[in-house]
Structure 1
């Protein structure tokens, strides 16, 4: 699938200061950047640094009182859609180092609090079948409600409230997978079926020796996603992080499939 991506950001800053942007599709396995252009307003500093796990890049800038950004790209997504029923667990003692840390709790994903629940609910399943069952449980028990969560909402809150947005679905998916001893991490992506259009948060799970994308909201599949970044939870993949207060003036994300 070939995707057209168009992002525009305009934020007012309360004071001059640094900011971190993570908004570009990564040159990662399963996708190819055909063309890309990013334009930023006047800056006092600009640098690129590698993203988590070497996937993508973060842009570090220092702006005065305003931060504007325009990003356009075309991306060819070549990864197949996983058949989770055919994927098996990797034994704990055979997990690579870059997967082990994604078994541990993190700020928004307190997986240690869900071990008993995960065992009771999904203990009779293994591998990709267990991951698919976790996805289906979340889809059947949560309602997608725009604006229903805040920057402080954790997987515990979403589990109790039974509602959230994409990052909440992803956090709960990650939490339950980790509690079931499946390495899981968050992934920020672009996808054409996201409603309302925005940066999208999904989950990556480690099965059969590789990472596989899965979306608990059901809005996108792995063969429709352009990967931006990965990390422990939303803290690691935020599209914009500022050290001063930032007020949104304008923000738009448009993703569409290019036919032909």
Structure 2
């Protein structure tokens, strides 16, 4: 499936004028970037490998206080919409090195606090059936509420309030999966049915020798999702990081299916 991405960003920065971005579609399993274009408004970007070896980040040094950026890409997503339920999990001693770090608690996903809950609620299940049940529980128990969380919100807060945005849904899936000894990581992505249109976040779980996308919000499917990068939680893969404050001016994230080429707005 062809997915077209068109992003524009405009921010005013304080002194320092250095920005680290994670907005480019990754060349990775299940998707191929057919064409892309990055316009940094005259600033020169420097690329850095992304977390977990997926995608890359862009470091931009600005001459002035304004960052005006455009990114457009066409990506062929070949990843199938595989059902989770038949997939088997791996015992911890059989996990590969790439999956092991994603069993551990992280800043926003204190998975070690959910062992008893997961055992009681999902203990009779295993593998992909357990992950599907976790996904459905999170989707049913939580309410999508814009501005319900902040950059300081952890999965413990989300479990208490049962409110949040895609970031919080993904953190919850990651924490519960890890508590069940199934590796899970947080992925930043693009998807065409995200409402309101924006950067999106989902979980990835390690089942049957591969990573599988899991979206408890229900706004994306594996076969129409473009991965940007992945890490332990949102701390690793924020779409923009600055040393000083950045003032929002304007931002647009448009993602669509089909054969019409992407272009800057």
Same fold (TM over 0.5): yes
In structure 2, what is the equivalent of residue 125 of structure 1? 125
TM score, norm. by length of structure 1: 0.97
Alignment of 1:32 with 2:32, yes or no, is: yes
1:167-216 per-residue CA deviation (whole Å, 9 max, x = no partner) reads 00000010000001110000011000000000000000000011001101
| Whole-Å separation in 2 of the counterparts to 1:97 and 1:78 | 25
In structure 1, what is the equivalent of residue 184 of structure 2? 184
Q: Point out where structure 1 has 5 or more consecutive residues left out of the alignment.
A: none
The 5 A counterparts of 1:230-241 are 230-241=230-241
| Larger mean Cα displacement after TM superposition, 57-66 or 232-241 | 57-66
* SS of the residue 2:93 aligns to: helix
Question: What RMSD, in angstroms, separates the aligned Cα atoms of the two structures?
Answer: 1.1
| Whole-Å separation in 1 of the counterparts to 2:220 and 2:33 | 19
| Whole-Å separation in 1 of the counterparts to 2:19 and 2:48 | 13
| Whole-Å separation in 1 of the counterparts to 2:109 and 2:202 | 14
Alignment of 1:157 with 2:157, yes or no, is: yes
| Whole-Å separation in 2 of the counterparts to 1:17 and 1:8 | 18
In structure 1, what is the equivalent of residue 54 of structure 2? 55
Q: Is the 8 A contact 2:184 2:206 kept in 1?
A: yes
| Whole-Å separation in 1 of the counterparts to 2:52 and 2:111 | 21
In structure 2, what is the equivalent of residue 46 of structure 1? 45
1:4-26 per-residue CA deviation (whole Å, 9 max, x = no partner) reads 10000000001133210100100
| Whole-Å separation in 2 of the counterparts to 1:5 and 1:105 | 33
| Whole-Å separation in 1 of the counterparts to 2:147 and 2:83 | 33
| Whole-Å separation in 2 of the counterparts to 1:135 and 1:249 | 35
In structure 2, what is the equivalent of residue 84 of structure 1? 84
| Whole-Å separation in 1 of the counterparts to 2:138 and 2:61 | 40
User: More helix by proportion, 1 or 2?
Assistant: 1
* SS of the residue 2:219 aligns to: coil
The 5 A counterparts of 1:1-260 are 1-43=1-43, 46-63=45-62, 64-259=64-259
| Whole-Å separation in 2 of the counterparts to 1:10 and 1:90 | 44
Please report how far the alpha carbon of residue 109 of structure 1 lies from its aligned counterpart in structure 2 after TM superposition: 0.1
Please identify runs of 4+ aligned residues in structure 1 that moved more than 3 A. none
* SS of the residue 1:90 aligns to: coil
**Matched pairs, number:** 259
Please report how far the alpha carbon of residue 46 of structure 1 lies from its aligned counterpart in structure 2 after TM superposition: 2.8
| Whole-Å separation in 2 of the counterparts to 1:181 and 1:248 | 39
In structure 1, what is the equivalent of residue 263 of structure 2? none
* SS of the residue 2:160 aligns to: helix
Please report how far the alpha carbon of residue 42 of structure 1 lies from its aligned counterpart in structure 2 after TM superposition: 3.4
| Whole-Å separation in 2 of the counterparts to 1:78 and 1:46 | 29
* SS of the residue 1:80 aligns to: coil
Q: Is the 8 A contact 2:16 2:243 kept in 1?
A: no
